[in-house]
Amino acid sequence: MAAEAVLDIRNLVVEFPTRRGVLTAIRGIDLTIGRGEILGVVGESGAGKSLTGAAVIGLLESGGRIAEGEIHVCGRRIDQLPLREMQKLRGRTIGAIFQDPLTSLNPLLTVGDQLIETMRVHMPLSRAGAMARAVRLLQEVGIPSPELRIAQYPHQFSGGMRQRVVIALALCAEPELVIADEPTTALDVSIQAQITALLKRVCRDRGTAMMLITHDMGVIAETADRVAVMYAGRIVEIGPVASIIRAPRHPYTKGLIGSIPSLTQRSERLVQIDGSMPRLNAMPEGCAFHPRCRFAMAQCRRERPPLMPAGTSEAACWHLNGEVSHVA
Ligand SMILES: Nc1ncnc2c1ncn2[C@@H]1O[C@H](COP(=O)(O)OP(=O)(O)O)[C@@H](O)[C@H]1O
Ligand SMILES: [Mg+2]
C-alpha cells in the first residue's frame, strides 16, 4: 500500500454469545480506507454493515464482542483499547453519523452549545473561539444564517437541516475517520442527494476517510469511491465503484445493482433477488448465497469461495470467469 490507511480492518470476527450457543455475525472482514476516500458498505438488512461500523467506534451492543481480528486507525491498534481511551478517540479521531439525527442531538441544548461542548472536550479552545468555529462549520455544511441558527434547538430545524447539524457535530473535532450509518435513509429523496453531495465534499476538502453504510446501491453509486458488498457477515465483492457498477462479478452484487431504477431503465428489467438472507444460526454450507443464486452448482453448495481477484475488484464467487459474467 502506498500511503498508510486511515482505517485498516483485518480479519474482523464479531460474535454474540447466546444461551443456545455463539452466533457469529461478522465472519472475517478485511478492508482499508485511505485519506479522503469514501468506502461504501452495502448489502441487505442483516448483512452485518452496522455491526462492522459499531466495532470500529467501539459501540457494539452489550453481549457483542470482537472475537478475532484487528482494527487499526492511522496506524494505531484500537480494538483492545480501554473504555476511556476509546471514548477519547470517539469524536476526536472517529466521528459518527447515524440514520436518525435526533439520536445524535440533545433536544435540550442549542445547536451551538452542542458543537461548542463537543469541540471543547477534544480541543483547547476558548468559548469564543469555539463559537466562531461553530459558525464557520454550520456555514460549511450548508446551513443558512448560521450566526442566527446557532442559538436554536434541534426541533427548530427540518430533517435535512438537522442531519447537516449532525454532520457538523461529527466533523467539529476534525476526525480522521467518519462512520456514517444510513445517513440519508430517514430523509426525503429530494434531500438525500444534497446530503450525499455534502458528505462527498467534506471528505474531499478535509481529507477525511469515510465508511458510508447503506442498503441503497443508488447512494453508493453517487457517492463512494470504492464499495464493499456484504452478505451474511462477509464481504462478497469489493473494488472501485465505477467498475463494480459497470461490471459486477458476484450474482448478489448484480441483484443489488438491478434494483437501482435509474441504472436499469436504460438496460432491461429490474432484477429482483428472490429469497432472504440466511439466519445466523442456519448458515448454509459452501457459499452463503447459494440457496438464492440461480447459477449455483455443486461446488457452490460444498465449498465457500474466498475473495478472488477479478479485474480491478475482488469477488467471492466460483463463477468468476464463467457464464455468470455474461448474464444480466
Ligand atoms: N445485539 C445483537 N444480538 C444478536 N444478534 C445481533 C445483535 N445485533 C445484530 N445482530 C445480528 O447481526 C446481524 C447483522 O446485523 P447488522 O450489522 O445490524 O445488519 P445491517 O446493518 O447490515 O442491517 C443480523 O443478523 C443481526 O440480527
Ligand atoms: Mg444497519
Global pTM? 0.93
Enter the C-alpha cell of residue 308: 478472488
**Residue to substitute in 59, 280, 281 for testing ligand 1 pocket (most ligand atoms within 8 angstroms of CB):** 280
**Hey, whose CA ends up nearest to atom 16 of ligand 1?**
48
| pLDDT > 70: percent of the chain | 93
Q: How many helices (H) and strands (E) does the chain have?
A: 13, 12
Contacts for 210 with CB less than 8 Å, ≥ 6 apart: 33, 37, 38, 39, 177, 178, 179, 180, 199, 203
CA 284 to CA 278: how far, in whole Å? 7
Closest by Cα among 47, 97, 69, 30 to 252: 47
pLDDT by residue (tens digit) across 114-168?
999 999 999 999 999 999 999 999 999 999 999 999 999 999 999 999 999 999 9
Ligand 1 and 24: CB distance under 6 A? no
What confidence tens digit (pLDDT) does each residue in 234-280 have? 999 999 999 999 999 999 999 999 877 666 554 444 456 889 999 99
Q: What is the pLDDT of residues 186-239, one digit of tens each?
A: 898 889 999 999 999 999 999 999 999 999 999 999 999 999 999 999 999 999
Cβ proximity of 250 and 236 under 8 Å: yes
Q: Which of 13, 14, 16, 20 to mutate to test the pocket of ligand 1 (most atoms within 8 A of CB)?
A: 16
Q: Spell out the alpha helix ranges (H) of the chain.
A: 49-56, 83-92, 101-104, 111-122, 127-140, 146-149, 159-171, 189-206, 217-223, 241-246, 251-258, 261-264, 298-302
Instruction: Please give the distance, rounded to the nearest whole angstrom, from the Cα atom of residue 98 to the centre of ligand 2.
Output: 10
35 touches 292 (CB < 8 A) = no
Ligand 1 pocket member 50 (CB < 6 A): yes
